[in-house]
Amino acid sequence: MRVRRRAAGAVLGLLLLIGGCAAPAPSPAPDTAAFQAAADRRAAAVRAGDLADVPLGSWSYRVTDVRRDGDDRATARAELRYRLAGYDSGVVTGERALKLARRDGRWTVTSDRPARGAAQQLWEQGDVDVVRGKKSLVLGVGQDAARLRSVAAAADRAVPAVSAAWPEGLWSRRVVVFVPASLKEMGALLGEPAAGYRGIAAVTTGRVGGGPDGPADRVIVNPEAYAVLGEFGQRFVLAHETTHVATRAHTSADTPLWLSEGFADWVAYRGTSRAPAQAAPELRDAVRAGRTPVALPADGDFSFAADAEALARAYEGGWLACELIADRWGEAKLRALYRAAGARGAERALGEVLATTPEAFTAQWRGHLRERLG
């Protein structure tokens, strides 16, 4: 495992470096051609730089809109596209605001920042440390090398565990983890208020669906919540989030959260000795008090803004639903259900894969909760 410190400006420059390996961008309209050329020159100028320990495979951006600020100043909106070689099967995209100036009759990029409402990139938050694990790449800002190596070690253990539980999945079998300096910076990377993630140890970014060449994922760690977890908790979190990376191509808006979040927890618990009563304390207490849920968790139950105990019950309920399927129908059927639900919805998937109905499955799940937690 190697550690390399890169200056934030240097890493940003590296991202401005690669353009030739990216998918060809549509030709800009005539009125933006000069500004696109300026962006391409910037990329070409940095391309000769030393990539060092940051394995960038491609970088490009496409100018989509330009606002002139007089004869010699302009602001352009551009789509950023980059990929990490050996880690990303798809690209990461972001919206950027480019400041340009005309010098000696030619436009030059003078500033590259997130567009209004867009998320920051990690290298904009300070000096970036890079740790290469065997199956992971960890980039951190404001973190010591020992912590980043620990995150990489947990991610390295997560990847083969996830691959064993999801063997058919078409994914890179590598995971990229960002560790910002604080919860505030985590929110900036997500482009959302940080307060909503205060108790969340990590999240996975990316767009669902899209196949193996879909947008690349990033696991973003909340350094404050992650730090208070024990070794098991940290390993669990990285396994859960890595599962989302692995299953992303088969996850869609039709996949219910009880299945996607429950499957990620099922993978993270798979092969451990945690008993359901120990791993699902909130749902255990509810069942023992005679308050067994009458329905599977709804998508809204997984909101980070929800009551902490209700949120825990949602995750626990989803996990035990997946445990029920794996125990009664087998792990292969659980994976098949996941793929079918993403393609055709949960109701059809339950019928096609498990030969059951949502009502019958819910009744079985409620019985499973009483059996395992009562």
Per residue in 95-147, pLDDT tens?
A: 999 999 999 999 999 998 999 999 999 988 998 899 999 999 999 999 999 99
Q: What is the DSSP string of 48-104?
A: TS--TT--EEEEEEEEEEEEE-SSSEEEEEEEEEEEETTT-SS-EEEEEEEEEEEET
pLDDT given at position 20: 32
Closest C-alpha among 190, 216, 229 to residue 84: 216
pLDDT given at position 57: 78
Examine the pLDDT at 243 and tell me if it is beyond 90. yes
pLDDT given at position 251: 94
Fold classification of 129-249 is Zincin-like (3.30.2010)
Q: Which residue has the higher pLDDT, 42 or 309?
A: 309
Fold classification of 9-118 is Nuclear Transport Factor 2; Chain: A, (3.10.450)
Closest C-alpha among 269, 284, 288, 280 to residue 312: 280
Q: Are strands 202-205 and 218-221 parallel, antiparallel or unpaired?
A: antiparallel
Q: What is the mean pLDDT of the chain?
A: 88
Instruction: Tell me if 78 sits within 8 A of 96, measured CB to CB.
Output: yes
Domains 9-118 and 129-249 share a fold: no
Examine the pLDDT at 230 and tell me if it is beyond 50. yes
Examine the pLDDT at 305 and tell me if it is beyond 80. no
Distance separating alpha carbons of residues 69 and 78, to the nearest angstrom:
17
The residues pairing with 96 across neighbouring beta strands, listed in sequence order, are 78, 114
Q: Which helix H or strand E contains 107, and what residues bound it? A: strand 106-114
Neighbours of 69 (CB within 10 A): 11
pLDDT digits (tens, 9 = 90+) for 160-188: 999 999 997 678 899 999 999 999 999 99
Distance separating alpha carbons of residues 242 and 163, to the nearest angstrom:
10
pLDDT digits (tens, 9 = 90+) for 22-62: 344 444 444 789 999 999 887 776 555 547 566 777 888 89
Examine the pLDDT at 210 and tell me if it is beyond 90. no
Distance separating alpha carbons of residues 51 and 17, to the nearest angstrom:
9
Over residues 6-34, mean pLDDT: 43
pLDDT given at position 10: 30
Domain ranges of the chain: 9-118, 129-249, 252-374
Q: Which residue has the higher pLDDT, 242 or 12?
A: 242
What are 248's two structure tokens?
A: 């992303």
pLDDT given at position 23: 44
Neighbours of 204 (CB within 10 A): 18
The sheet with strand 56-68 has its strands ordered as: 56-68, 73-84, 92-103, 106-114
